[in-house]
Amino acid sequence: MTADCSRALRTPSPGGHRKHSGFGVEEPIDTSVHAYLGGPVHRIGIVVGVVSLALAVSAPIAASAAHAPGLDPLGTTTEKPVIVQHADPQRPIIAVSHRGAAGHAPENTLAGLDAARRFGAQTVEIDVRQTRDGELVLLHDVTLTRTTDVEEVFPDRESHQVADYTLAEVRRLDAGSWFSPEFAGEPVPTLGEALDRMEELDLNLFLEIKEPDRYPGIEKEITAELFTRPIWLEHNPPWEPRRLVVQSFDWEATRSSKRMLPSVPHALLGRVPENRLADFTWAHMVNPNHTTVNADYVELLHEHGFETMPYTVNSRAGMDAVLRMGADGFITDYPDAGQRAIRDFLGDEGRDGAPDQAATPLLPVPLVPVLH
Ligand code: G3P
Ligand code: CA
């Protein structure tokens, strides 16, 4: 399928951004018909679904049970079927606001989340690491050096790695001044604080698990944190951006997270080699560095049923390029510029004779989860 074809199949949001709209905890049904339906993943899914009707019925039940507040999925050791919702043409193309809104405010801070909303983002990306005492915090780097004043506050400490500091120690740091005096005193937030702020701001989330091999069990801790706020396990309606995507460069940890959060879409960060794409049918997205992709690769991802939102695209030329490749969105430090580029791109598409997408009927698709 060509990129142009992909765009023509999209429909704009009929209701704008309406989060927490009661679409429920379960989202086992991909209600879309799209050009990827004939791809190998879906063909496998359809065959498996038809042959294994009982399993097809049990899959949503498993996902529902895993999501029910008060039920703990973490002790589960048996392999559960997972539900994969592949590329959906109803979903709007989005500019995911990177590290909060790293172009406008100190990255991975609450001020950054506020800025993301102010600059028009619907979805933000954040990085999560773990402190010495096991608390989940928003930090990109392995050390605290670049984005805090740790060297001033703890001049005698040999290590400035996040994993060597307790949350109480991290809380003494200023994570805003390095960016601008305007943000002096901005703290490093916990994941819980960030989830609460994003809920207040009606923001969706791409949650990156950063270097999980340094923090054994971090996927489990993140899952537990999400279970204390089950609103994050609900799903937005299909014409809105996804509420939550969990992603990592560590594909094993991503798989482990997917097992614990079976109906939450997961993304592989980095460029998955063409000959390995078939190994990751449990994943929803592949999000590579934008400099490593072209239209052929995007098309191949779509043929395998993956959405793709390359990172980190900050120039207008780069945004235009990934949109022309057929990407489903992109990750950017500048959500305002990103939204402008998307608006212009869709406008251009309209002038090129794309059908009135609002009038494109949505056809029902049978409930056929892809089981693994
Ligand atoms: O969301 C993907 C992107 O954030 C990955 O790169 O280094 O900015 O975390 P990085
Ligand atoms: Ca990141």
CA dihedral for 2, 28, 123, 12, sign (positive or negative): positive
CB 85 within 8 A of CB 45: no
Whether pLDDT at 12 is above 80: no
CB 250 within 8 A of CB 213: yes
Query: Is residue 286 over pLDDT 80?
Result: yes
The pair of structure tokens assigned to 335 is 């959500």
Share of the chain above pLDDT 70, in %: 70
Look up residue 287 and give its DSSP letter.
E
CA-based nearest residue to 289, from 313, 315, 258 = 313
Locate 137 and state its tokens.
């915090």
Ligand 1 close to Cβ of residue 234 (< 6 A): no
With a 6 Å cutoff on the Cβ, whether 121 touches ligand 1 is no
Q: Best substitution site from 128, 129, 147, 208 to test ligand 1's pocket, by max atoms within 8 Å of Cβ?
A: 208
Residue 162, pLDDT > 50, answer: yes
Average pLDDT score over residue span 3-32: 36
**138 Cβ inside 6 Å of ligand 1:** no
Q: Which residue has the higher pLDDT, 168 or 84?
A: 168
The best mutation among 97, 125, 290 to test binding of ligand 1, ranked by most ligand atoms within 8 Å of the C-beta, falls on 125
CA distances from 118 to 112, 134, 166 (A): 10, 32, 32
For 60, the enclosing helix (H) or strand (E) is: helix 53-67
pTM, two decimal places = 0.77
Whose CA is closest to 342, among 360, 318, 362, 359? Answer: 318
pLDDT band at 155 (very low <50, low <70, confident <90, very high): very high
Which of 34, 42, 98, 290 is the catalytic position?
Answer: 98
| CB 322 within 8 Å of CB 314 | no
Q: Quick check: 177 pLDDT over 90?
A: yes
169 exposure class (CB count in 10 Å sphere: 0-12, 13-18, 19+) = middle
User: In the structure, what pLDDT confidence band is assigned to residue 84 with cuts at 50, 70 and 90?
Assistant: low
Nearest by Cα to 17 from 277, 291, 360, 335: 335
Amino acid at 321: A
Residue with tokens 């996804």: 242
For 30-71, the pLDDT digits (tens) are 323 222 222 223 323 332 332 232 332 233 323 322 332 333
Q: How many C-beta neighbours within 10 Å does residue 274 have?
A: 12
> Mean pLDDT across the stretch 298-303?
96
Establish how many alpha carbons lie within 13 A of residue 290's alpha carbon, considering only the half-sphere containing its beta carbon.
24
Ligand 1 atom closest to 287 (CA): 2
Of the listed ranges 215-224, 284-293, 355-364, the one predicted with least confidence: 355-364
| Confidence tier at 349 by pLDDT (50, 70, 90) | low
Q: Is the CB of 123 under 6 A from ligand 1?
A: no
Q: How many CA atoms lie within 13 A of 327 on its CB side?
A: 33
**Residue 138 contacts residue 127 (beta carbons within 8 Å):** yes
Q: Give yes or no: 140 in active site.
A: yes
| Residues present in the chain in total | 372
pLDDT in tens, 206-220: 999 999 999 999 999
User: Mean pLDDT, to the nearest integer, of 127-140?
Assistant: 99
Looking at residue 359, the DSSP 8-state letter turns out to be G
* pLDDT score recorded for residue 63: 31
pLDDT value at position 90?
A: 82
Q: Is 8 exposed, middle or buried (0-12, 13-18, 19+ CB in 10 A)?
A: middle
CA 329, CA 39: separation in Å to the nearest integer? 21
Per-residue model confidence as pLDDT tens digits over 315-332: 999 999 999 999 999 999
Q: Is 311 in the pocket of ligand 1 (CB under 6 A)?
A: yes
Looking at the domain 3-141+190-359, which fold is it? TIM Barrel (3.20.20)
Residue of 34, 42, 104, 140 marked catalytic? 140
Q: Measured between alpha carbons, how far is 317 from 291 in angstroms, rounded to an integer?
A: 12
Question: Residue 259: pLDDT above 80?
Answer: yes
Handedness of CA 18, 20, 22, 28 (dihedral sign): positive
| Separation of CA 346 and ligand 1 centre (Å) | 26
What does the block give as tokens for 255? Answer: 């798989």
- Give the Å distances, CA to CA, from 157 to 167, 182, 184, 261: 16, 28, 23, 38
Index of the ligand 1 atom closest to the CA of residue 96: 1
Helices 110-118 and 191-201 pack at an angle, to 10 degrees, of 20
Q: 291 CA to middle of ligand 1, Å?
A: 13
Alpha helical stretches, state H, 105-233: 110-118, 150-153, 167-170, 191-201, 218-227
